[in-house]
């Protein structure tokens, strides 16, 4: 059943984004979802009356993940077949799922998105290489918005950064983004400690939480799912330390901890700031700058940001280093780390 064409709502708007980012399947899911919203009153009301900014809160991606989870669990055979590319009746399969699972979809969408995309760790690793060449020191990592903490394990990954090898040769997690621009200068990525925080940290050993992470991977990009599964297996061998706390309180406390001499303290985050309030974003930035003012040659501080620009027209990889406080835009990137345009 194909419903009447709707106004261009949030799902339809983000379909254009998904298509531009290389996922025609997710674009088609969102477009069908917009057409079929009239059949799912709870989901429709949730999207229509969303209390915050639906773009910042990734409402469309929550919807897509809810459907993907249903497809993965086999609750709706026609939906599972659609996601397995065995037919292309998007409206039929998605409409039926929305009628039968309206409550489940709406409930799932209320949970915070969990996109612990390890592909982004290539950009973070490249920024660490720049900091390593600047300071010549190993790293203490502090991450906010860690989710399952998979990117805290970035020191265990193998990277191909535009032909520049980095990380651990032979790692089960291999990341080779499409690369343009110059190449980062080779440098070791030596991690002494790594610690993160999340309001709802996920446990890699919990099958439900693994499924939740996998539901956020776009179904027509199976290489990302395989990489995520490898990263989850790696996390079982090397469990990341993720504290259950809000970013503002946790980071302020960690930055007050004594920093060992001979280590570079690094605060990093990827696609997290959009979920913080403007006030909390200001507090986080102020806490980092305040800590940077105390930095010294043997106790430097680096801030790595992998985030949307204010206009949300591109994702920038930024590095700020203290002493000095110089900020550099190292690259523009695909939101999931699929490509990196190096600018340094």
Quickly tell me which residue has 């621009």 as its tokens. 181
Tokens encoding 48: 């229509």
Three-state secondary-structure class, residue 267: strand
What whole-number distance in Å separates Cα of residue 285 and Cα of residue 237? 33
What is the number of H-type helices and E-type strands within the chain?
12, 12
Question: What does DSSP say about strands 158-161 and 139-144: parallel, antiparallel, or unpaired?
Answer: unpaired
pLDDT digits (tens, 9 = 90+) for 45-57: 999 999 989 988 8
pLDDT digits (tens, 9 = 90+) for 273-328: 988 999 999 999 999 999 999 999 999 999 999 999 988 889 999 999 999 999 99
The domain locations on the chain are 10-109, 118-342
Closest CA to 67 of 94, 37, 40: 94
Q: Is the pLDDT of residue 1 over 90?
A: no
Q: Is the pLDDT of residue 4 over 70?
A: no
What whole-number distance in Å separates Cα of residue 300 and Cα of residue 303? 10
pTM here is: 0.90
pLDDT digits (tens, 9 = 90+) for 154-186: 999 999 999 999 999 999 999 999 999 999 999
Triad 55, 328, 312: Cα angle to 5°: 15
Contact of 318 with 304, CB cutoff 8 Å: yes
What whole-number distance in Å separates Cα of residue 155 and Cα of residue 121? 9
Residue 6's pLDDT band (cuts 50, 70, 90) = very low
Contact of 331 with 125, CB cutoff 8 Å: no
Phi, psi dihedral angles at 308 (to 5 degrees)? -60, 150
Quickly tell me which residue has 């400690």 as its tokens. 193
pLDDT at 163: 96
What whole-number distance in Å separates Cα of residue 265 and Cα of residue 292? 10
Tokens encoding 167: 């990380």
Burial of 159 (0-12, 13-18, 19+ CB in 10 A): buried
Quickly tell me which residue has 């998605």 as its tokens. 94
Q: What is the mean pLDDT of the chain?
A: 95
Residue count (the chain): 344
What whole-number distance in Å separates Cα of residue 198 and Cα of residue 243? 6
pLDDT at 7: 57
Tokens encoding 9: 């709502």
Residue 75's pLDDT band (cuts 50, 70, 90) = confident
Q: Is the pLDDT of residue 229 over 50?
A: yes
Triad 224, 207, 217: Cα angle to 5°: 20
**Mean pLDDT, to the nearest integer, of 232-243?**
97
Closest CA to 341 of 187, 185, 161, 173: 161
């Amino acid at each position: 059943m194909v419903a009447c064409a709707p106004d261009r709502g949030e799902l339809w708007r983000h379909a254009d984004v998904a298509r531009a980012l290389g996922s025609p399947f997710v674009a088609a899911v969102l477009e069908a979802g917009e057409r079929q919203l009239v059949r799912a009153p709870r989901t429709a009301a949730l999207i229509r009356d969303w209390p915050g900014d639906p773009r910042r809160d990734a409402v469309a991606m929550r919807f897509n993940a809810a459907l993907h989870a249903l497809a993965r669990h086999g609750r709706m055979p026609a939906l599972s077949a659609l996601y397995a590319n065995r037919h292309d009746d998007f409206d039929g399969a998605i409409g039926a799922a929305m009628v039968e699972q309206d409550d489940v979809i709406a409930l799932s969408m209320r949970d915070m998105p969990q996109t612990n995309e390890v592909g982004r760790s290539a950009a973070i690793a490249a920024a660490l290489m720049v900091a390593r060449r600047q300071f010549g020191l190993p790293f203490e990592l502090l991450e906010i918005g860690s989710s399952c903490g998979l990117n805290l394990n970035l020191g265990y990954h193998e990277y191909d950064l535009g032909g520049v090898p980095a990380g651990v040769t032979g790692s089960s997690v291999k990341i080779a983004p499409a690369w343009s621009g110059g190449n980062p200068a080779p440098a070791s990525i030596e991690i002494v400690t790594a610690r993160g925080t999340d309001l709802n940290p996920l446990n890699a050993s919990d099958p439900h939480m693994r499924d939740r992470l996998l539901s956020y991977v776009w179904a027509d990009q199976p290489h990302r799912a395989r990489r995520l599964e490898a990263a989850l297996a790696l996390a079982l061998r090397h469990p990341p330390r993720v504290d259950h706390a809000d970013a503002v309180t946790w980071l302020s406390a960690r930055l007050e901890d004594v920093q060992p001499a001979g280590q570079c303290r690094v605060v990093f985050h990827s696609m997290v700031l959009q979920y913080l309030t403007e006030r909390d974003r200001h507090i986080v930035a102020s806490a980092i700058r305040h800590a940077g003012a105390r930095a010294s040659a043997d106790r430097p501080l680096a801030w790595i940001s992998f985030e949307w620009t204010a206009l949300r027209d591109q994702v920038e990889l930024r590095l700020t280093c203290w002493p000095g406080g110089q900020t550099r835009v190292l690259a523009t990137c695909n939101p999931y780390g699929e490509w990196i345009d190096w600018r340094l």
